[in-house]
Structure 1
Amino acid sequence: MKCPYCNHPDTRVIDSRPAEDGSAIRRRRSCDECGKRFTTYEKVETIPLIIIKKDNNREQYNRSKIERGIIRACYKRPVSAEAIQKTVERIEIKIFNLEAKEVSSTDVGEIVMDELKELDEVAYVRFASVYREFKDVNTFMDEIKKMMLDRSKGDK
């Protein structure tokens, strides 16, 4: 593994343990050249998942796109980076649990919105406004009313 600080090609593992969710191995490494330490994660390589976009184009699944969307939706909200990472993990697990080689972006978007609704309602509405392409304030209000109705049903 190449050192991220000095680019030396050889580093050594000083500690290995399962990552929090158990789906990866966390390795603590040390560079023999500069002496700095860093952490890497080792995951099982899966068959590439293809996302079918709304225009029927296909592209390879990209976790960072989901992360960026959630970070954007949570901008200036009281949501920790750790909570965002755990949300992305749950989303990814749900997507891969579909056990399909191709998944529509609509299905991915719905999974993201379900998770965002639990994480932060304002972030959910922000994401939904872009994802569902709200055209005006009435569409916004309809979504908020639906969310409030769902919330009141959950309280009973």
Structure 2
Amino acid sequence: MTLYDDNTNWAIPEPDLDFLPAPRPRTNEPSAEPEPEIQLLPAHKVRWNFDPEGVKPPFAHTVGLCARPGHPYELAVFGLTGRLAQAVLRCAGEQLVRDGLDPAEGLELDDVVSGYSARLRRAQDTSAFTAARELYGPDVEVWQVLVPDRFGRFPDSSDYSDNRDEQPFV
């Protein structure tokens, strides 16, 4: 199922799992070799937060990606519904792992939003990501996933067409 954002024309793709081995046919005979365990991301949760007053935009962040050896970071996204935020963070995390990438300022990910690129920027203020800070301390590295407007422009562009307050730079 493809998830769509009501305010733009972009969609979140279903994960492309073509690079995974084909499933083995089921038989009643036990296999001599164990089934491979395939897990792109370490076990983690996505915590979605919203302001019941509607003053601040909703945001979501991962908790548990830091458990991946040698890649101590979490991901966050602002201004999306819970399901869209979870899908964006999952797709971004999977592309980083699958392509062997580490987050970098301005890195564009093309497997997150159908037909557009998402962009990473390092969060300067991690105080809102309380669950990640509780687990990994106040210096936890958080990368904000920026999603474009319907024209493919990001909030730092002068001609960005959506409300900039929905994706604040933290």
What is the TM-score when the length of structure 2 is the normalising length? 0.26
What is the TM-score when the length of structure 1 is the normalising length? 0.28
Higher Cα radius of gyration: 1
Specify which structure has the higher proportion of helix.
1
